[in-house]
Amino acid sequence: MSTFLTHRTSWKIGAVAALTLAYLYRAGFTFSSTIFPFQTTTHDAPHVADMSTQKALYLLEPKGKFAVQERDIQEPGPGEVLVEIHATALNPVDWKIQAFDFAIKDYPAIVGTDSAGIVKKVGAGVTNVAVGDKVLHQGFFDNRRATFQQHTVVPAEIVAKIPPNLNFDQASTIPLTLATAAVGLYNDKKGGGIDLDAPWEEGGSNKYAGEPILVIGGSSAVGQHVIQFAKISGFSPIITTASKQNEAYLKSLGATHVIDRNAPLADLSASVKAITDKPVKVAYDAISFADTQNAAYDVLASGGKFVVVLNEAIEKDKITSDKEVVHVYGNVHMPVNREIGKSLYAKLTSLLEAGDIKPNNVEVLPNGLAGIPEGLEKLRKGVSALKLVARPQETA
């Protein structure tokens, strides 16, 4: 698979993301530890293996090395489920945490926030899933809820059953990036979204029929989900930027027009105008480099709404009060995103079964959890329309 991100560009994304998450980290602690509840528990020291232990991939210290070690298997509390993880997908935030040290309070730390597996235990009051169900869910940045381990716990209200048309590897590609697309488009501004009506809710399907949308970076994992949501929301045309090699794939997901992302961004407005003469009132930048944000902002019409995934980097002299920019934080564990997370997860199985939401392309890493560090290095160098997936149960 060819790659398109240079080292330099990847590190640029990383630096911006680190600043973003450092900001969230500070905000979470300064204003409310419940808004962004980072890991606050004491160190959980590795244990000697026994029947109640499992393997986990620990980031041993800030900016340090990863190592597979034993630790206790968690017990689910009321409303929670214990999941035996069969596939966990890698995300840029995982290598950025190692490189820049943010979002983690205590080390050794477990990261990873995408899981597909089997329910092993349910806590009191859980009715939507049962022991033995195959499920997918998002994780969080604490050792109890992270996913680079063989078992994790998660609130049942943000868990969905995997339909038969998806395997564990495919299902694990979905949670984090789906949440980032869903929260950005459909949560309110307080929750980091632009408050569109969600297509999975009553009356939301095709609500935006005939309205154009611009998606920067359609072949990224986040961008693929934005395109798919845009399709079931009715947007048309769905205009995206990506490498031309991904054009057919993105059209299969719902994009109507794919602009070569290697063409000069100075031409983006003209390229969009050649596709539609309607004002573009919704844009989502799944890449959010300074240059892509500024080019998308130029395309956005008066009254338009714009989602960015990294810190806002729009030039001060072009910012106008008639365009709204929101910075999404795509995790459904957070209290501000929990309601939309619950409503999305209640419908997710049927969205997947119907093919409205499709998984990303998968490359399975060798050696279970031990294969993740090399996978993170590959992700840092850049992938194209691809998700790297590890199988924790295959750890030696």
Peptide bond between residue 279 and the one before it cis (omega within 30 degrees of 0):
no
Tokens of 118: 């089997």
- 75 versus 291: smaller Cβ distance to ligand NAP: 291
Give me the least distance between CB of 287 and ligand NAP, in Å please: 5
201-210 long-range CB contacts below 8 Å, 24 or more apart? 201/343, 201/347, 204/233, 205/232, 205/233, 205/234, 206/232, 206/233, 206/234, 207/233, 207/234, 208/233, 208/234, 208/235, 208/282, 209/234, 209/235, 209/236, 210/234, 210/236, 210/278
In whole angstroms, what is the distance from residue 221 CA to residue 208 CA? 23
**Token output for 136:** 């997918």
Q: Supply 38's token pair.
A: 């980072």
Q: Which two tokens stand for residue 24?
A: 């969230």
Element containing residue 327 per DSSP (H, E): strand 324-327
Give residue for tokens 């995206």.
Answer: 240
3-state secondary structure of 291: helix
Write down the least CB distance from residue 386 to ligand NAP, Å. Answer: 7
Minimum CB separation from ligand NAP for residue 72, in Å? 29
Contact 347, 157 (CB under 8 A): no
Nearer to ligand NAP (CB atom), residue 21 or residue 153: 21
Q: Between 229 and 289, name the residue whose CB sits nearer to ligand NAP.
A: 289
Which positions touch ligand NAP (CB under 6 A)? Answer: 4-5, 13, 17, 91-93, 176-177, 180, 216-217, 219-222, 241-243, 246, 261, 286-287, 289, 292, 309-310, 328-330, 383-385
Q: Which is nearer to ligand NAP, 11 or 120 (CB)?
A: 11
* Helix, strand, coil share of the chain (percent; to 5): 35, 20, 45
Tell me whether residue 107 or residue 249 sits nearer to ligand NAP (CB atom). 249
Q: How far is the CB of 215 from ligand NAP (least distance, A)?
A: 9
Locate tokens 């109507």: which residue? 256
- Cβ 177 to ligand NAP, closest distance in Å? 6
Write down the least CB distance from residue 169 to ligand NAP, Å: 16
Residue nearest to ligand NAP (CB): 384
Closest to ligand NAP by CB, 220 vs 395, is: 220
DSSP string, 14-27: HHHHHHHHHHHHHH
Of the two residues 196 and 309, which places its CB atom closer to ligand NAP in the complex? Answer: 309
Length of the chain: 396
Q: How far is the CB of 304 from ligand NAP (least distance, A)?
A: 19
User: Between residues 155 and 330, which has the closer beta carbon with respect to ligand NAP?
Assistant: 330
Structure tokens at 380: 């840092």
CB atoms within 10 A of CB 125: 10
Rank residues 39 and 241 by Cβ distance to ligand NAP and give the closer one.
Answer: 241
**Closest to ligand NAP by CB, 181 or 351:** 181
**8-state DSSP, 42:** P
Smallest distance, Å, CB 263 to ligand NAP?
10
Contact 3, 381 (CB under 8 A): yes
From the CB of residue 100, how many other CB atoms can be counted at a distance below 10 Å? 18
- 132 close to 166: Cβ distance less than 8 angstroms: no
Q: What residue type is 32 in one-letter code?
A: S
Q: Which is nearer to ligand NAP, 5 or 81 (CB)?
A: 5
Q: How far is the CB of 158 from ligand NAP (least distance, A)?
A: 15
| Distance in Å, CB of 396 to ligand NAP, minimum | 27
Shortest distance in whole angstroms from residue 24 CB to ligand NAP:
9
